[in-house]
Structure 1
């Protein structure tokens, strides 16, 4: 865990932003600001006025396919869309994508409960039933992360989502496709904090498009060094930018089809 990030944090409810020092790392704040601007621009796409549900459904599908691919189970998007892929990791990622909307309100109130639910959705058919929703370790660190999420309305959404994601892929506290859980938790953070209220930003697509950087920066984050954390945050901003451009691409396709 990036322990310096949590030095001022104790318990549930966040009276100050313990992650604010991360914005002082070189190039991090501008990168996150640029990503925010790209998302805001994408949210003004004409397709979202009348076809927002269609765009959201396609973004959700792409997020699931990308998340499964990042877990080592890559398939063509059209094959998954056509219903011919029965791989349990893919099916789990699809269940997670479908279930995220129902967990938005609960996430900032009971993050541990939501993480367990995400694992049940993601790992069904992959791990033994007795392991579903159960931590395999790092309980104390997961509690710290949950405390950071619960009641935190101070940390900027992009920064908080990036740390949630990085902590969970570093810890991998669940058996099986723990990365699917990590990416979904980050997405829940963006939705619940109002950055992406319609669930359009498929950051998973950005991670897959920049997969070598994703893997490398996650490993760098795990070192706990300022440079490692900076590398991850810059990657996360770049992945969000890719996801913003994907919203535009989906919107263009939708308008072309109507």
Structure 2
């Protein structure tokens, strides 16, 4: 019996993707080789998670200063505070769901939506893909919204891809998961937060960034919403050029995340953090 084809493998051969993978890998290797990581990696991880959550919230429209995120304890006062709180919860929860991801990615996504919504499940739409006629709150993404039946079919296809595994580099898988979720917007809310958390899950679970110290969310935020949308448009186009540019965009984001954690390491080394 012949092996099933690997749909993601050809993406690794697109022009420029090899260079993006290599550049990201070198950036990740450099931060893992920092002397601070030998003694204080847990502190770097905690800071990377916080900064990643802050950046993801900024992309969702709640651009708070890092110290404000660090200082606040009440995240229910207004829409922006709720977005920041959701980002913190989702990013923290993602790290707990790694063992489940490969076997049941749809269960992980449902859990992340429940956590983003506050963990109550009070609304009937929480924790499940949207149904026909339900509206989506995701102002950053301007792509046409796929119909609910298309969303269901593509989510199943994505889950099958993840469960089957792939020979494609981790960056390719992470970019496809992120791009597919953001294009589909399968939930009525918090899709951006969930898509970016899923990208993190892939990069960590693949072993590329096992300590979760390269927050790609920071890189996506630094590139800015316009660049984020333009790169996502390339993914949604399905063309080779568009897909390669989206993968490169995600690679650059992870590199910028690694640079952010390098700055954290330098601060810890100087005793400034």
- Asked whether the two chains share a fold, i.e. TM above 0.5, the reply is yes
Normalising to structure 1: TM-score of the pair?
Answer: 0.90
Bigger Cα displacement from structure 2, 229-238 vs 166-175: 229-238
The secondary structure found in structure 1 opposite 2:213 is coil
Q: Deviations over 1:233-258 (max 9, x none)?
A: 11111111111111211111111227
Q: Deviations over 1:189-220 (max 9, x none)?
A: 11111111111110000000002322210022
Q: Distance in 2 between matches of 1:28 and 1:196?
A: 19
Instruction: Report deviation, 1:23.
Output: 2.3
Gaps of 5+ in 1: 1-13
Q: Deviations over 1:84-136 (max 9, x none)?
A: 56211110111112212210110011101000001111123899622111101
1:251 counterpart residue number:
265
Gaps of 5+ in 2: 76-80, 131-147
Q: Distance in 2 between matches of 1:229 and 1:85?
A: 40
Aligned mate of 2:184, from 171, 174, 177:
171
Q: Does 1:144 align with 2:157?
A: yes
1:197 counterpart residue number:
210
Report how many aligned residue pairs link the two structures.
Answer: 245
Aligned mate of 2:255, from 235, 241, 246:
241
Q: Distance in 1 between matches of 2:12 and 2:155?
A: 23
1:27 counterpart residue number:
16
Bigger Cα displacement from structure 2, 21-30 vs 42-51: 21-30
1:50 counterpart residue number:
39
Contact 2:214/2:255 (8 A) holds in 1: no
1:74 counterpart residue number:
63
Bigger Cα displacement from structure 2, 15-24 vs 76-85: 15-24
The secondary structure found in structure 2 opposite 1:130 is coil
After TM superposition, the structure 1 = structure 2 runs for residues 52-201 of structure 1, keeping only pairs within 5 Å, are 52-83=41-72, 86=75, 87-124=81-118, 129-136=123-130, 137=148, 138-201=151-214
The secondary structure found in structure 2 opposite 1:129 is coil
Bigger Cα displacement from structure 2, 127-136 vs 186-195: 127-136
Which structure 1 residue ranges, 4+ long, deviate > 2 Å from structure 2? 14-17, 123-129
1:221 counterpart residue number:
235
Q: Distance in 2 between matches of 1:245 and 1:85?
A: 30
Q: Distance in 2 between matches of 1:50 and 1:257?
A: 14
1:195–1:16 Cα change, 3 Å: farther
Q: Distance in 2 between matches of 1:23 and 1:244?
A: 22
Instruction: Report deviation, 1:17.
Output: 2.6
